[in-house]
Amino acid sequence: MGNNVNCQPFNDDEWLIPCKSVGKNPLQPEYALGNLVKLNEPYRVYDHGIIVEHIGYNAEGSPHVSLHLYNTRGEIYVMEEGPLTPHYVDFAATEFEVIRVANTR
């Protein structure tokens, strides 16, 4: 399985999201894969996210992650061109707050 992890962001759903974590310097537990976050400033119309990849740390030493974004209507941010798959957007931990810790299998 390597660094790939299956994350279950919602307790009652069976929706699993493939995620990837960096191996050398793991991020703090509050930035675990699958955790739900609320952005301090919306990205377009999307104001929530699911941590799906650990990038590491930015130049200022803040944890840096990739998120799948969604809005309050439950719409997930997808690329406008190509297949309808969720698009990763990178954020520093200073740009969001963790609102829910996911259960993992």
Handedness of CA 52, 101, 2, 92 (dihedral sign): positive
Q: Closest Cα to residue 50, out of 105, 1, 85, 101?
A: 101
Q: 3-class DSSP state for residue 95? A: helix
> How does pLDDT run along the chain (105 residues), one tens digit per residue?
333 344 444 444 444 444 544 455 677 888 999 999 999 999 999 999 999 999 888 888 889 999 999 999 989 998 777 777 788 899 999 999 999 988 765
Domain that holds residue 92: 4-104
Give the pLDDT of residue 99. Answer: 94
Q: Structural domain tally of the chain?
A: 1
Give the pLDDT of residue 24. Answer: 56
Q: What's the pTM value of the predicted model, to 2 decimals?
A: 0.72
Tell me the H-state helices in 10-67.
none
Take residue 90 and report the two structure tokens written for it. Answer: 């990178």
What proportions of the chain, in percent to the nearest 5, are helix, strand and coil? 5, 50, 45
Give the pLDDT of residue 22. Answer: 47
